A and B are shown apart, each in its own frame.
Chain A
Amino acid sequence: MSTVFGKVVKLILLERFGPVVEQVGSYLFQYGTNPLLYIMKYTELPLSKIKESLCILIKYNLVTFVTNKNENLANYTLKPDRILLMLRYPKYNNLIKKKFGDESEMIIEEVLQRGYWTASELILKVIERLKKNEQATSVSLVKDKFKSLVVAKYLVRMPYPKDDKPVPDLQIQDNELYIFPDIDNKILAQINAGAESMDKIPDKGIYWTINFDRFHQDMRDKIIVTAFTKKIDDNAGKFVELLLRQMYIRTMPWADSSNPVPILEIKDIIRKQETHKQLLAFFDQYVNVIEQDNSNLIRKAGEASGGSFQIFMKEAFIQFAWETIEQIVLEKYDSKAARIFRLVKSKKHIEPDQIQKLAMIPAKEAKRLSYLLLEENFLQIQELKKSNTNNGPNKTFTLFHINLEQVVRMTLEHCYKTLFNIMTRKNHEKEINKRIIVKKQRVDTIAMDMREKGAEEGQISDIEEMITPPEREILERIDITLKKLNTVELEVDETIFLLQIYLMYQ
C-alpha cells in the first residue's frame, strides 16, 4: 500500500467513474475505514454526491461496509486491490470468449459493466444484444450458457442481507454460492416478447457477480502452460495442461502442492485425444525432461501404477519470479549485471572478491556493477564481523545476497509507478489535444446522425471534411500514442499478475 499504488488507484477511478468518485475513493485510500460524515467533512463534497459515489463504489464491489457502533451508520472501506483488477477486465472477457464463445463473453461483459445482476435480466439483455447483431438465439441457449458459467464457478452468487437492518449484514452460505435458481424459460420468453413486465422475473434479489479467483486460476495455469510451451515445445505444454486438469480432480486449486496424480491417467487421455502423437510416442522422455526442469513443477511421489507425480505450484512460481527479475535486471543493466545477479543467486551468499573471480568480469567493472545493483536494491549486503582479533583492524566480511521477496515487492512498486506514469502521460496527451478530440467526436456524431437519417454521401463527406488534413494528422498521431500506452498498460498488468501470484504463495 504505497503512495504510488494510491495514485494508480486514483487514476483508475478517475478514468472510469469521474472526479467525484475519485475524490471519495482516494480519501478512503488515504484514511482507511471511515463513516459517511467524515468523508463529507474532509472531501467537502455535497452529501448527495458522496452518497451516490459510495453507492457506485459498493455496487462495483470496490467498497465494503460494516456496521458502526451506532447501528444506523456504516463504516466504509476501500478495496484497492479490487480496483487494480479493473485493468484486467479485457483479459477476463477474452478468456471467456476463447473458452465458451461469444454469448458467454457477453454475459461476463454485462456483469463486469454492472458489478452484479440477476440471471433473468442478464439473459434478456444478452438476447437483446444478440438480436441487434442479428445472431440467432433462444432463451434456453443463453440460459444454458449462463448455467455453465455458474457451474464452472466463473460467476458466483452475491451475498444477500439476512434480516432487515439499517446497515445490511451481507452473508451467504458456502453451499448457496453456485446453485442456479429455477427460472422458467416461458416467463423469460414472455418478458422478452413484451407480454410481461420486467417485475415478473422469477429470481428477484438473486444477484450474480464475477468470481475473480476462478479467472486468476485459469490465468495462472496459462502462465505455466505457456512457460513450458516456450521452453520445450507444444507437446510439453499439452502435457502440463492435462496434468493441471487432472490435478483439480484431487486438489484444491490454490494449494501449494498437489496430491499425487497417476501418470497413466494422462497417458490415457492423450491416447484418446489422438492429437499429439509425438507426445504419446515419447511420453516417458517428456515426463523426464519436465521433471528435471529447473522450475521444479513436478516431482515423483511414488512408483505405483506407473508412477505418480506431485505438482508444486509454489515452487514453479518462485522460479517464474526469479526469471522475471533476472530478465528485468538484464534489460535494465545489461548482460554483465545479469550475470552477477545470477551468480549471487546461485551462491546464495558471496563475497565481492569472489564475484569478480567467478563472473569473469574485470575487477573494477564487477565492483561497479555489483554496487549499482546494491544501490538499486536488487542485491542486499550482510556484514559479518570477526571480533576475536584484538590488534589491528577488525576483519569484516561483506556478503552479497538476494532477498527475492523484497526484490519482488520492489519490482511491483516499479510496475505501479510505470502504470502511474503511463496513465498520467495518457491524460496529458488527451488534455493538450482536447480541442481536436472534442471536435472529432462532434463531427463523428453529426455524421452518424446524418447517416441514420439517410443523407447523401456528398453531404456526409462535407461534414467529415470539417477536420482539416493537419488536424487529421495530429489525430492519427494521438491514436498511435494512446494505443501504445494502452498496450503497455495491459502488458505491465501481466507482470503484476505473475508477481502477485508469487507473493500469494509465500
Chain B
Amino acid sequence: MSRGRGARGGGRGGVTKSFNREQLNALGVGGNDMLPGLVTQPPPLFPLLDKRPVPIHISLELDYLLILKQDFIDHMQLSGSYLKLPETKSNESEIVPQVPKEKYDWSLFPSELRPKMMARRAKKVVVKDVDVNNRLKLLETLEEKQSADTTIKQEKESEDVDETEIVEEDQDEEMDDGTDYANNYFDNGEDYEEEDDNLDDGPIY
C-alpha cells in the first residue's frame, strides 16, 4: 500500500515528468518560448494604431453628398420636428425663432396622441348632431301624445317648457360628454396598466 502511494506521490511530485515534450507542444507550451511578462499597468486609454487607415478619396460627388447631408440636418433642426427639452426652451428661444408646430392629418395617428383640445373638439361636433335630432323626434312624439288630452292653451305652455328643457338638456349632454370623454381617456389608460401589473404579478403567487 505504502509502495503504491509512494509511486503515485513520486509521479505527482516530479514536475518535469508530468508531461512529455510532445504533450506540452500539443498544449501549446513550447520549451524555448518566453512567457510574456506580468502586466501591471492598465492598457492605455488611446492605444496607438497598428495600421494607419487609408485616406478616403475625395471626389466632387462626395462633396455634393456632404452638402446634401448637412442641408438635411439643418432643415430638420430648424423644423418643427426638432423638439427641445422644456427647461432649455426658455434660454434658447432668444436665439432661435419659435418654429410653428407641425400639422398632422390626425386620421393617420392614434387618437390618444392628439393634443387634448383637438380631440375634444372633434368628438363634440359629432355627438351634438346626432343627439339633437334624436331628442327632437323623441320629444315631438311625446308632445303629440300629451297634446291629445290637453287644451290648446296648455299645449302652448308645455311647448315652451319643452323647448327650454331641450336647450338645457342639450347643454348638459354636451358638458357631460366632454368630461366623460376626458375621464374615459385617462381611466382606460390606468386600467390597462393595472391589468398588466396584475398579469405580471400573477405567476409569482
A419 at the interface (CB under 8 A from B): no
- B window 52-76: CB within 8 A of A: 53-54, 56, 58, 61-62, 64-66, 68-70, 72-73, 75-76
A74 at the interface (CB under 8 A from B): yes
In the bound complex, CA of A401 to CA of B159 (Å): 95
Which residues from A are CB-within-8-Å of B53? 331
Which residues from B are CB-within-8-Å of A89? 68-69, 72
- A window 478-493: CB within 8 A of B: 483-484, 486-491
Q: Are A15 and B192 in contact (CB under 8 A)?
A: no
Q: Are B73 and A166 in contact (CB under 8 A)?
A: no
Q: Are B65 and A73 in contact (CB under 8 A)?
A: no
Q: Are A90 and B68 in contact (CB under 8 A)?
A: yes
Closest to A60 in B: B81
Which residues from B are CB-within-8-Å of A113? 72, 75-76, 79
Q: Are B51 and A332 in contact (CB under 8 A)?
A: yes
B189 at the interface (CB under 8 A from A): yes
What does the 1/0 interface line of B177-197 toward A look like (CB < 8 Å)?
A: 000000011001111110000
Query: A87 to nearest B CB, angstroms?
Result: 8
What does the 1/0 interface line of A469-504 toward B look like (CB < 8 Å)?
A: 000000000000001101111110000000000000
Q: Are A49 and B76 in contact (CB under 8 A)?
A: no
Among A50-58, A144-152, A235-243, A339-347, the one that faces the other chain is A50-58
Q: Are B61 and A94 in contact (CB under 8 A)?
A: yes
In the bound complex, CA of A19 to CA of B87 (Å): 12
Closest to A51 in B: B113
Which residues from A are CB-within-8-Å of B75? 113
Given A16-B73, A35-B192, A167:B111 Cβ within 8 A: yes
A322 at the interface (CB under 8 A from B): no
In the bound complex, CA of A37 to CA of B193 (Å): 8
Among A62-70, A248-256, A290-298, the one that faces the other chain is A62-70
Among B1-9, B99-107, B149-157, the one that faces the other chain is B99-107
Which residues from B are CB-within-8-Å of A17? 76, 81-83
A59 at the interface (CB under 8 A from B): yes
Which residues from B are CB-within-8-Å of A112? 72
Which residues from A are CB-within-8-Å of B115? 48, 51
Q: Are A486 and B72 in contact (CB under 8 A)?
A: no
Which residues from B are CB-within-8-Å of A59? 81, 102, 104
Interface size, chain A (Cβ < 8 Å): 64
Q: Are A486 and B66 in contact (CB under 8 A)?
A: yes
B84 at the interface (CB under 8 A from A): yes
Which residues from A are CB-within-8-Å of B190? 37
Q: Are B109 and A18 in contact (CB under 8 A)?
A: no
Query: A78 to nearest B CB, angstroms?
Result: 15
Given A19-B83, A490-B66, A73:B192 Cβ within 8 A: yes
- B window 72-128: CB within 8 A of A: 72-73, 75-77, 79, 81-86, 95, 101-102, 104-105, 107-115
Q: Are A36 and B82 in contact (CB under 8 A)?
A: no
- A window 439-491: CB within 8 A of B: 442, 483-484, 486-491
In the bound complex, CA of A55 to CA of B189 (Å): 18
Query: A398 to nearest B CB, angstroms?
Result: 10
In the bound complex, CA of A36 to CA of B101 (Å): 21
In the bound complex, CA of A112 to CA of B79 (Å): 13
B161 at the interface (CB under 8 A from A): no
Closest to B81 in A: A56
Which residues from B are CB-within-8-Å of A72? 111-112, 184-185, 188
Q: Are A16 and B76 in contact (CB under 8 A)?
A: yes
Query: B173 to nearest A CB, angstroms?
Result: 21
Q: Are A56 and B111 in contact (CB under 8 A)?
A: no
Q: Are B65 and A94 in contact (CB under 8 A)?
A: yes
Partner of B108, one of A53, A69, A161: A161
Partner of B109, one of A37, A48, A55, A68: A55
Q: Which of A55, A68, A91, A484 has the most CB of B within 10 A?
A: A55
Q: Are A74 and B189 in contact (CB under 8 A)?
A: no
Which residues from A are CB-within-8-Å of B62? 487, 490
Which residues from A are CB-within-8-Å of B66? 90, 483, 486-487, 490
Q: Are B113 and A54 in contact (CB under 8 A)?
A: yes
Given A16-B73, A55-B109, A73-B188, A331:B51 Cβ within 8 A: yes
Which residues from B are CB-within-8-Å of A172? none
Q: Are A19 and B109 in contact (CB under 8 A)?
A: no
Which residues from B are CB-within-8-Å of A37? 189-190, 192-193
B26 at the interface (CB under 8 A from A): yes
Which residues from B are CB-within-8-Å of A20? 83-85
In the bound complex, CA of A160 to CA of B109 (Å): 10
- Excluding A37-B192, A487-B56, A490-B65, 8 further A-B contacts by CB distance (< 8 Å) are A16-B77, A17-B81, A58-B113, A72-B188, A166-B112, A438-B95, A483-B66, A488-B56
The 9 closest A-B pairs by CB, nearest first: A90-B68, A20-B83, A74-B110, A16-B76, A90-B65, A167-B110, A166-B111, A18-B82, A90-B69
Listed by A's residue number, 24 A-B pairs whose Cβ atoms lie within 8 Å are A16-B73, A18-B84, A19-B83, A20-B83, A35-B189, A36-B112, A37-B193, A52-B83, A58-B109, A59-B81, A65-B110, A73-B110, A73-B189, A94-B64, A94-B68, A109-B72, A160-B107, A164-B107, A168-B109, A393-B26, A438-B95, A486-B66, A487-B66, A490-B69
Interface residues of B, Cβ cutoff 8 Å to A: 23, 26, 50-51, 53-54, 56, 58, 61-62, 64-66, 68-70, 72-73, 75-77, 79, 81-86, 95, 101-102, 104-105, 107-115, 184-185, 188-193
